[in-house]
Amino acid sequence: MIRKDFGLLRLSSRLVKIVAWTFLLFGVIQGVGIIAGAAGGIPRWMGLFYIILYIGGFFFIYLMTMIADLLLEVWQFLKKERF
């Protein structure tokens, strides 16, 4: 039963990584669209601001998943060492 829980944690970590990459992709598309002038009335420098903002959000989400993966590995190691 414990292995199923670890599998669920790994699956959720992978799903959050996919969400992070999707977040980055949509942010870059939005920023490039604003820089290219697709959205009228929005200054072009806001496109760069959006790209930087979404890259920061991506790194934050991705860092959280990397920490969760590391904690999962540590937990598995401690379980093996005890028994």
pLDDT, tens only, 8-31: 778 888 899 999 999 999 999 999
Q: Quickly list H helices, 1-83.
A: 2-36, 45-82
Kindly report the average pLDDT of the chain as a whole number.
86
Q: 3-state DSSP call for residue 1? A: coil
In this structure, the number of other CB atoms found within 10 A of the CB of residue 17 comes to: 17
Q: How confident is the model at residue 64 (pLDDT cuts 50, 70, 90)?
A: very high
**Residue 3: pLDDT above 70?**
no
Spatial separation of the C-alpha atoms in residues 27 and 54, rounded to whole Å: 5
**Predicted local confidence at residue 23, as pLDDT:** 94
Angle at 55 between CA 23 and CA 18, to 5 degrees: 35
- Domain ranges in the chain? 2-82
Is residue 83's pLDDT more than 70?
A: no
The pLDDT of residue 4: 53
